[in-house]
Amino acid sequence: MTDHIVVLSGAGMSAESGLSTFRDNDGLWEKHNVYDVATPEAFQRNPELVLRFYNDRRRQLKDAQPNPAHHALAELEREYRVTIVTQNIDDLHERAGSSHVVHLHGQLTQARSIHDEHTVYDIGYDDIQLGDTAENGGQLRPHVVWFGEAVPMIETAAEVVSTADQLLIVGTSLQVYPAAGLVNCVDIDVPITVIDPGEASVSRARVIRKTASDGVLEWMESLRRQ
């Protein structure tokens, strides 16, 4: 019996819902250079551009829907204890019904003060404008982890992965640190499955070379046969 299933999800999970996500191979996100919209320096240089970019992403997210992979993982909670550690900043796992989700890189539906990363507000799909401030007077910015910033949830994620009885990696190449190091937190005898249509870089893993939705459904069928 598998007591605790931990899922590491990434961009490939959201892509099937129509969300364009940063990919390392071209360095572009919705035709923007990531260093123009996803760094603290970019926000200092041109906050209006950065806020507009994330406002557009929030509107895109509002219209997006969870795909079969999201729904399948949520359904898995009926039979197992499931924790999802996601690199994605969208809320599609939660909207599909998953109740234990750790967001490594923050959440698009939240904002925080530039003066205090712990002053965080739920904003849903509303825009953030220049002049929108927190109660401490700081300009609001997206509550997302930008390049060059620390990943505050990495220790929590490492603790979660260390308790896994089975690890499922979906839609991420795990080539970006510190997230890539999470696979090393799992016990040596814990089964690892990677769902990715491309080349998998995780040693000792079973690989299902399919898209997120097709791969998750195939993996669930094999899990139930165990």
State pLDDT tens for residues 95-120.
999 999 999 999 999 999 999 999 99
Quote the domain boundaries for residue 215.
Answer: 1-19+66-105+149-226
Shared domain for 96 and 195, answered yes or no, is yes
Say how far apart CA 134 and CA 137 lie, in whole Å.
5
Say how far apart CA 34 and CA 62 lie, in whole Å.
22
Phi, psi of 160 (to 5 degrees): -65, -50
Shared domain for 88 and 156, answered yes or no, is yes
Shared domain for 57 and 7, answered yes or no, is no
Bridge partner residues of 193 (DSSP): 168, 206
Number of domains in the chain: 2
Shared domain for 140 and 180, answered yes or no, is no
Q: Which residues contact 46 (CB under 8 A, 6 or more apart)?
A: 36
Chain-centre distance for alpha carbon 211: 17
CATH code for position 114? 3.30.1600.10
End-to-end alpha-carbon separation of the chain, Å?
Answer: 8
Shared domain for 216 and 185, answered yes or no, is yes
| Average pLDDT value for residue range 56-73 | 96
Shared domain for 31 and 74, answered yes or no, is no
CA dihedral 19, 90, 110, 103 (to 10 degrees): -140
**pLDDT tens across 177-205, in order?**
777 789 889 999 999 999 988 766 677 78
Say how far apart CA 10 and CA 14 lie, in whole Å.
7
Phi, psi of 46 (to 5 degrees): -150, 75
Check: CB of residue 219 under 8 Å from CB of residue 195: yes
| Average pLDDT value for residue range 130-139 | 96
Tell me what pLDDT residue 161 has: 97
pTM for the predicted model, two decimal places: 0.92
Average model confidence (pLDDT) for the chain?
Answer: 91
pLDDT at 51 over 70: yes
pLDDT at 1 over 70: no
Band of residue 20 on the pLDDT scale cut at 50, 70, 90: confident
Shared domain for 137 and 178, answered yes or no, is no
**pLDDT tens across 212-222, in order?**
999 999 999 98
Tell me what pLDDT residue 181 has: 85
For the chain, give the percent of residues with pLDDT over 90.
Answer: 75
When mean pLDDT is compared over 20-29, 121-130, 174-183, the highest value belongs to 121-130
Taking CA atoms, 133 is separated from 39, 165, 193, in Å, by 20, 44, 44
Say which DSSP state 22 is in.
Answer: -
Residues catalogued as catalytic = 105
Nearest to 70 by CA among 95, 88, 93: 93
pLDDT at 57 over 60: yes
Rg over alpha carbons for the chain, rounded to the nearest Å, is 18
Can you give the length of the chain in residues? 226
Tell me what pLDDT residue 26 has: 52
Per DSSP, the three-state class of 82 is: strand
Shared domain for 129 and 193, answered yes or no, is no
Band of residue 33 on the pLDDT scale cut at 50, 70, 90: confident
Per DSSP, the three-state class of 49 is: helix
pLDDT at 27 over 60: no
Shared domain for 2 and 45, answered yes or no, is no
Tell me what pLDDT residue 198 has: 76
Say how far apart CA 134 and CA 114 lie, in whole Å.
9
For the chain, give the percent of residues with pLDDT over 70.
Answer: 92
Say how far apart CA 44 and CA 65 lie, in whole Å.
33
| Average pLDDT value for residue range 19-47 | 79
Tell me what pLDDT residue 46 has: 96
